[in-house]
Structure 1
Amino acid sequence: MVQVNDLQNFKLKALQWASSYNSACYLDSNGFDDPYTKFDTLIAIGSKAQIKASAGSAFSDLQNFRTDNPGWLCGFFGYDLKNEVEKLSSQNFDGLDFPDLYFFAPVHLIIIKGNQAEIMSDDPQHVLSRIDEQELITYDNQPSTHLKSRFTKQEYVDAVTAIQEHITRGDIYVTNFCQEFYADDVHIDPFSVFTQLNTVSPNPFSTFFKWNNNYILGASPERFLAKRRRKLISQPIKGTAKRHDDLEADELVKQELRNHPKELQENVMIVDLVRNDLTKSAKQGTVATEELFGIHSFRQVHQMISTVVCELQEHLPPVQAIKNSFPMGSMTGAPKISAMQLMEQYERSKRGIYSGAVGYFSPDDDFDFNVVIRSLLYNADKGYISFHAGSAITYHANAEKEYEECLLKAKAVLEVLGG
């Protein structure tokens, strides 16, 4: 254990050093109080073994890789692994070309709790020296990046109206309809953009992930699925309200969210879906809703979050438990398969890593994965930047308000990019 005196400076230097490797993962809880978090910050650096896979046999390939590498693993699941879990397909445009699944066993790992850093490496002193010698580089004068949308506002409104006709017919009850904001021929410094994003919008599942020249720069507030001993925990988010500087107005908005019929309806539908997903992995009779309609506040927004838990079946591999709940219900809709099929028709780009998950497996076979939302995805070789935002569409949804909610969710990323 190493005592860290200037924690923020240490984390920035460690991240800058990590980002020089082809494989790096930085997970930061940003000080949020969470009973299920194992650490404040994890930094995984370099790869001694890795797996890249596409939908088809990705989960079984990962299970084999996990058997061969039982220590720490960091990586991501792309949304289009849905095509392996169910009989689905994805034909929409993909400007990023990320793999559906990527995991690596790190050469060096740093776990920070409070002001203590544990360094797991063959040469911890070398790691400390490399971090200490870093001179932080800032890019204060990066040119503004203006993201374009795949939809005009009117096209988005028309699509929502069409989706609501499916709801009226009973094809689905609720869905998550997403739009992509993107830019071509753009060059950014991912380290600088992430540190700005994490300052503007610090969230409990913030992520800097690098695989070769591909980056996930995330400010996610949502947990997809965690395992703690025999317990599985899922915390779907459904329900969003804008923060206000005025304390009285902010509290009023918070109370309105807590009692808003549409937001409550969205949340409880997804809770039911998550409960159903967890039954596939649960010891019979153990699925429970630990918290329903909890209101949690973040820098940009208030969110309605519920917590669903269960006891894991004996001998069920952790990778299988993830597959049983993937993709997360908060990003699909209900019924799950019908909602996913319909969104492939109405959305104009592949979600890829968006609506997927980033996280880790630990040596005790616990794991923790976020939901990739509020995240900027960047392919540096192609100069392609992508940011998706979505909102829940129900029978009672107002298309214009849902469009504004997408822009609210995009606010932090747009601010960092200068758009």
Structure 2
Amino acid sequence: MTAEKTDTLVVGAGQAGIAMSEHLTAMGIPHLVLERNRVAEAWRSQRWDSLVANGPAWHDRFPHMEFDDVGPDVFPPKERMAKYFEDYARMIDAPIRTGVEVKSVRRCDGRPGFLVETADGTIEAQRVVAATGPFQVPSFPKIVPEDAGIAQIHSSQYRNPDKLAPGAVLVVGGGASGCQIAEELRLAGREVYLSIGEHYRPPRSYRDRDYVWWLGVLGKWDEIKIDSKKKHVAFAVSGYDGGRTVDFRRLGHMGITVMGMTEGYADGVLSIADDLVPNMLEGDRAYLEVLREADEYVERNGIDLPLEPEAWEIVADPECVKTPIRELDLAAAGITTIIWATGFKFDFGWLQVPGAFREDGTPFHKRGISAETGIYFLGLPELTNRASSFIYGCWYDAKYLATHIGVQRNYVAYEKS
């Protein structure tokens, strides 16, 4: 049976795959986009009911389409984000095939390109873009054994408080997901414990500007002045309830027991690291640093933005911070559910091109251009900089990769006269 042929095959039809398709189309590069589920599926099935975008509508979008029914400073809900990408794919007439899973990608023998085995047949492509994004396989440490009598789910499986068994809940993870879920559970009347580690805690907004704006004007999207040691810690900023600064002291005062990092488990008792206070102080330092840099920027550029002295106030420590918990007896605390808001890991088992990966299995690339010629990665955290896994940053990364593909096509097409 003859394989279908295309120049570039894009795997995944989330924000990364759609952005890639737009730029490939603009350059006249024949391509297909394969998606095993629906367009933007992660926004639907890997998010809880109340989730909203982490940035306002004026920012969390692609350049060529605005939201027509959401105010610019509103944080769009998850279903609206999924519809946005569906509408965008339709607008650019992206050649997307849904319900088609990619089984394997292998290099062709004796000729350029790759053989791609799918659930719908074989495709031969000169290039393959892995645009499956950062949210591939839920990841959490196997600290609490499965037979411990505690329900354990990943944050991607959480939907709302009513779906959980009665009882107290332990949320593990101090990023945006963990903080939002913990607060929602507490507001629903649950007893909540929140285990956090290192984190980057910026202000949601300051002096009438959202943090995404400050990220831009202060150069923090580009990470030029970011300490490399702090690039990969939890990013604690939230669009929840209209957008608010994540403040673990405030969460403590509303009744959430904030703790250090969960380290181990024995006989029904969790051991908790003695790192809560130093991690919170480091979060405060990063928070205040943004305020200082913002004030300096306003003064240096003569911008008329209102003062916000209350933003500098650090609330008093709640009791859980004054006397941090070092051990947590799950039964005594009445905990029936643990929610692991601990992120995701990659799954590139289908991409069977060994040169595209390091020894530890992570993609081997520079700005998404793989060490294996013809393979590209898009939508991964830190692909280029901090913006890469965000909507707008992914769009610009795709443009860079499409340009590179165009250049490579020119090399291949060259014939000496």
* Higher share of residues assigned strand: 1
Q: TM-score, normalised by structure 1?
A: 0.28
Bigger radius of gyration, 1 or 2? Answer: 2
TM-score (norm: length of structure 2): 0.28
